Structure 1
Amino acid sequence: MNRRAVGAVAAQGVQALTSFVLQVAVARTLGLSGLGAFAIVYGVVVLASGVVTGFVGDSLVVLDRRHPPVRAALQQFALALAILTGAVAGAGAALARLITPLEAALVLLATALFCLEEVLRRTLMARLLFWRVALIDSCGLVVVMAIVGSTALLTAPTLATFLLALAGGQLVALLLGVVMLPRDERFLAPFRAADRRTVARYGTWRSLQQFLRPALLTAVRSVVGVVVGLGATGLLEAARVYTAPALLLVSGLSSYLFASYAKERSGAGGVRRADRAVGALVAMTAAMAVVAVLLLPLVGPLLFTATPDLIAVVGWLLYTVSVAAVTPYGALAAVAGRQAVVFAVRAGDTVISLAVVVLALLLGADPAWAPALLVVGSLIGGLVLRRVAVRAGSSAAAPVELSTTTV
């Protein structure tokens, strides 16, 4: 694994660590029901960020972000989507009566800052500057811990405390990210004459795809909460948080692969590289899974008020392995201009996975089996995506709007 790939894992790891710290702190102070509520709200924040990551973040990696009309469109979409998704996230959580109006305002703020900081992260990733991403996220994590820790010294933390900490950490990371940008990336294009069509043509499909996995997890949490209760959602989320290091490894290396595929345009050779990446990711994930299961009796009680359910832990680990087997092929096909096909495949496997989980819960299955059931659709989608990647790799030409890639 080269230095940039390690940096990609480190960058994803710090972001995941922030989520981990917040959720463990919530579990220990607000209980499993509190963790269930926070998990749903935080899932909505990540969902909104995923939309911006795909629409703006992936577009700036693949398209020519230095071309003024394209850059102006990227700027407009980044601001508009950050505000819009923040408002929808806050209003949706409030209407669902999960949070108070004050907490809804904090969700709006945290979501908007999360989305804008993600755009900066993706710009640095496009230049393969993953260690700078890790640095700004580390500073954000320090701020999160400082806010939660200082509040705990004065009074009992509430859900609002954790939302404020999240917003504060994202604000600091955002400001530092501007400073860390390379000089030739640190400029704004005039907002007039923006080429919104080119950005929307690529970004729409990528944002829809980025929306799918967080939407699936949020839907599973919500269904479990409605059918069984927030306590069951909390137990399920505790197992997911425990297995998060394996997924962050996959996510970090996937970010590196997407940026490197966009830079190299390796054609048919990319499929062979994706096959090797899948083999390495699956092997590393499986090894981490074995370690996680062996350490569960020791580490589980130290992190949570109750030991995460073994079935749920194994299920999340199996799901992570399935993600490792799918993601490189989807990234390769998307860079080759098959983003609409990738979305269609991913949408189909998402619907299959969710339908299997809902049916199992309605039939009275233990909610701990939900993560393992998600593997069904994921693996079906993976088999199809590899065929898509092979066809994309053998194609003679990529779409015209993708031929001006600058990384």
Structure 2
Amino acid sequence: MQAVASFTIQVLVAQTLGFDGLGAFAIVYGTMQIVSAVTGGFVGDSYVVLDRHDRRIRSALEQFALAIPVGVGLIAAIVFSATGLTDVLETIAVAFAMSLFAIEELVRRMLMASLAFWRVVAVDAIAFAGALGVVAAMWLWSAPTLLGFLAAVAVGQLLGTIAGLLLLPSDERRVVPFVRGGYRAVLRYGGWRASQQVLRPAMLTAIRVVVTLAASLAAVGMIEAARTYVAPATLVVSGLGSFLFVHFAQDHDSTLAGKLRSADRAVFALVGLIVVVGAVLLVALPWLGPLLFGEPLDVVAVIGWIAFSTSIAAVAPYGALASVAGKQGPVFAIRSADTALAVVASTVLLLAGGDPAYVPAVIAVAPILGGIAVRSALLVPLARREAREAAEPNEERPA
């Protein structure tokens, strides 16, 4: 449902504002995803893993849940205004949309922590319907604009947040009074998770900026149209990654080796799914691309994004398991390295005069290397150590 919503909104932007408008919207929307990733990783994942029923932990989570979306959203909006990407009204809309986008994601994580995944679907559907309502009103009363689409995102996320709060179990809606303490525990875990979650959207936003500087907003729009065409497959992988994170966190009975086997099976299933969906998308591209975006899409860019989605599918389960196993710091280090490699490789390609359409394929290589490193350097040794410790006799050894 989230994939359908994101896909539809970006298709409508491309249809009405052209590739230039889609390029500008993609940069803003990508930044929204960064703010959402920071909040979801820092607060949402801490909510799942830490003891959220502890008053100090819960109070700290509540404070961060308000401070991060509002603060980071305002900073991002000011940056956009200073660079001239948005005017005054658009800047105000960006601030609201970014904050609400992050808060709605946090409410979704709270529902996931209760394993209420169908309620998450309902929240996404309500947010989607609200955004479409604003878009329809914009079409009826005025010409489509970037401001209108930003307002649509903000209204949709507000409605989704309200619906999510109403759908939460009563004990999860509990708000504790302000108390001190709990910050260190949240910072220690949530800081790593937020840093890890922000890497991929930050990489995509950085690449959009590089393409804008090296080519044009139209080139960003061309790449973004191809990414939007493949986005449902990518978001399905992200959604299943979120499910696996919650599943691994709440599975206290299985050994790490057993969870690693589950992660292996998930990787094979996800990669197979992306390959099948990618093949269908390629077959439908000659007629579906122009139908959705008003002009043909670049085949090379579409193939590149399918490859990128496949690489994410090969990484996400291992990253989720390693983070649950307490290796969020090393995971962040590995993910930072592969993210930097992707940005550098794409920048070198563009500075050398390469076609921007090849950027998605170039950045698809780095995540696979990162996934191999997480599995072989973190999870396998950890599982072996756990197995050795379990096999050792429980008798005390002489000093």
**TM norm structure 1:** 0.93
Aligned mate of 1:124, from 95, 103, 111: 111
Q: Indicate whether 1:87 and 2:74 are aligned.
A: yes
Q: Which has the higher contact order (CA 8 A, sep 6+)?
A: 1
What is the deviation of 1:278? 0.6
Q: Does residue 366 of structure 2 align to residue 377 of structure 1? A: yes
Name the counterpart of 2:16: 29
- Find 2:307's aligned residue among 289, 313, 318: 318
Equivalent position SS for 1:243? helix
Query: Of 187, 197, 200, which aligns to 2:174?
Result: 187
SS of corresponding position for 2:93: helix
Residue 377 (structure 2) pairs with residue 390 (structure 1): no
Shift of 1:394: 3.9
Aligned to 2:339: 350
Q: Give runs of aligned pairs for residues 2-401 of structure 1, distance below 5 A.
A: 14-265=1-252, 266=254, 267-387=256-376, 388-396=378-386
Give the letter for the 2:293 counterpart. Answer: F
Write the distance in 2 (CA, Å) between the matches of 1:384 and 1:217: 22
Secondary structure of 2:315's counterpart equals helix
8 Å CA contact 1:205, 1:340 repeated in 2: yes
Q: CA deviation at 1:392?
A: 3.2
User: 1:216, CA displacement in angstroms?
Assistant: 0.6
Q: 1:394 and 1:115 mapped to 2: Cα distance?
A: 38
Distance 1:118 1:237 in 2: 22
C-alpha separation in 2, matches of 1:332 and 1:257: 8
Deviation at 1:61, TM superposition (A): 0.8
CA shift digits 1:210-244 (9 cap, x unpaired): 11000011111111111000000000000000001
What are the ranges of 5 or more consecutive residues in structure 1 without an aligned counterpart?
A: 1-13, 398-407
Q: Which amino acid aligns with 2:380?
A: V
Q: Which digits, 9 at most, give the CA deviation of each residue in 1:224-281, with x for residues without a partner?
A: 1110000000000000000012112211111111100000043221111111111111
Q: What is the rounded CA distance, in whole Å, between the counterparts of 1:84 and 1:394 in structure 2?
A: 43
Do 2:193 and 2:328's aligned partners in 1 also have CA atoms closer than 8 Å?
Answer: yes
Contact 2:3 2:231 (8 Å CA) reproduced: yes
- SS of 1:258 mapped into structure 2: helix
Letter of the aligned partner of 2:36 in structure 1? S
Coordinate RMSD, CA, aligned: 1.1
Letter in 1 for 2:319: G
Partners of 2:3 and 2:236 within 8 A in 1:
no
- 1:300-351: CA deviation from partner (whole Å, max 9, x where unpaired): 0110021110000000000000000011111000001000000000000000
Give the Cα–Cα distance (whole angstroms) in 1 for the partners of residues 240 and 206 of structure 2.
26
Q: Residue in 2 aligned with 1:403?
A: none
Rg larger in 1 or in 2? 2
CA contact (8 A) 1:143 1:165 kept: yes
Shift of 1:377: 1.2
The letter of the residue matching 2:6 is S
Question: Given that residues 334 and 342 in structure 1 are in contact (C-alpha distance below 8 angstroms), is that contact kept between their aligned partners in structure 2?
Answer: yes
Contact 2:233 2:274 in 1 (8 A): yes
Q: Contact (CA 8 Å) 1:336, 1:393: kept in 2 or not?
A: no
Task: State TM-score, norm by structure 2.
Answer: 0.94
Runs of 4+ in structure 1 off by over 3 angstroms are 392-397
For residues 178 and 389 of structure 1, the distance between their equivalents in structure 2, rounded to whole angstroms, comes to: 36
Deviation at 1:382, TM superposition (A): 1.0
Structure 2 CA distance for aligned equivalents of residues 142 and 51 of structure 1: 25
Q: Is the 8 A contact 1:352 1:376 kept in 2?
A: no
**C-alpha distance in 1 between matches for 2:229 and 2:364:** 18
Q: Identity over the aligned pairs, expressed in percent? A: 48
Gaps in structure 2 of 5+ consecutive residues: 388-399
How far apart in 1 are the matches of 2:129 and 2:383? Answer: 43
Aligned residue identity for 1:312: A
Query: Deviation of residue 166 (structure 1)?
Result: 0.5
